[in-house]
Amino acid sequence: MHVSAVIAAGGKGRRMNSSISKQFLNIKGRPILYYTLKKFERIDKIKSIILVVGADDIDFTREEIVKRYKFKKIKIVQGGKERQDSVYNGLRELSPQTDIVVIHDGVRPFVPVTIIEKSIAAAAKYKAVGVAVPVKDTIKVVDDNYTIKNTPDRKTLWAMQTPQSFTYDVIMRAYEKAMCDGFYGTDDTVLVERLGLTVKIIEGAYENIKITTPEDIIFAETFINLGYGHYWR
């Protein structure tokens, strides 16, 4: 089974109030993106990694991430205006021989390797799989006037994460239809849902956070201090 990964790392970090892209910010002396890539590089089933970055970050990524840390499986691809454009650029660089595609956010460095592997196995069985966690809070649906309209049953609500994994033919069909229709979704699974196909969920991990704001850097450093990163070096 030929498995490839597409890592979306084209964000600019506006909410970080940073002059550099958020995936290059350091946690304990190493870039966030290093920690993410290390997880995927060490999984034997993953034969290639398409790393999608902004046009302005290509040279930096090549020199300061791929060469500096001696990653072997990575091909760098230029991203697009939106995340969906970037992932699509990455998908088009995959070999047609690819069986399973794992799509992951470059700023989610704490995803357990076991969850990546479970996602791959589930995609081989079900064709489309998302990683998610049950929500802990009560969720309210409100209108434009900030008035509560209803309260969904919390047992039915899950917060989506990445990786999201698919058979190659399913995710390519989903992306090609979305791009043709001019439809932009908030994640990859919604594009598959538009095809009328079933998407399964496997449970993720609450520490699998997306690093987006300055507070998240503090959480990330705490996670490493607690041992979540003990095998990365």
pLDDT at 230 over 50: no
pLDDT for 233 equals: 39
Name residues whose C-beta falls within 8 Å of residue 226's C-beta, 6 or more positions apart in sequence: none
pLDDT at 18 over 80: no
Distance CA 156, CA 201 (A): 12
Query: What kind and span of H or E run contains 190?
Result: helix 189-193
Distance CA 86, CA 154 (A): 33
Mean pLDDT for the stretch of residues 9-24: 74
C-alpha distances (whole Å) from 13 to each of 17, 149, 222 are 7, 34, 20
- pLDDT tens string 60-109: 999 999 999 999 999 999 999 999 999 999 999 998 899 999 999 999 99
pLDDT at 22 over 60: yes
Mean pLDDT of the chain: 93
Number of other residues whose CB lies within 10 A of the CB of residue 22: 25
pLDDT for 16 equals: 62
What is the CATH code of the structural domain delimited by 3-225? 3.90.550.10
Share of the chain above pLDDT 90, in %: 81
In this structure, the chain runs to a length of: 233
pLDDT for 190 equals: 98
Name the 3-class secondary structure at 200: strand
- pLDDT tens string 182-191: 999 999 999 9
User: How do the domains of the chain map onto residue ranges?
Assistant: 3-225
Distance CA 195, CA 163 (A): 20
Mean pLDDT for the stretch of residues 129-134: 98
φ and ψ at residue 67, rounded to 5 degrees: -75, -45
Task: Return the closest-CA partner of residue 95 out of 51, 125, 53, 50.
Answer: 50
pLDDT for 19 equals: 67
What is the reported pTM?
0.94
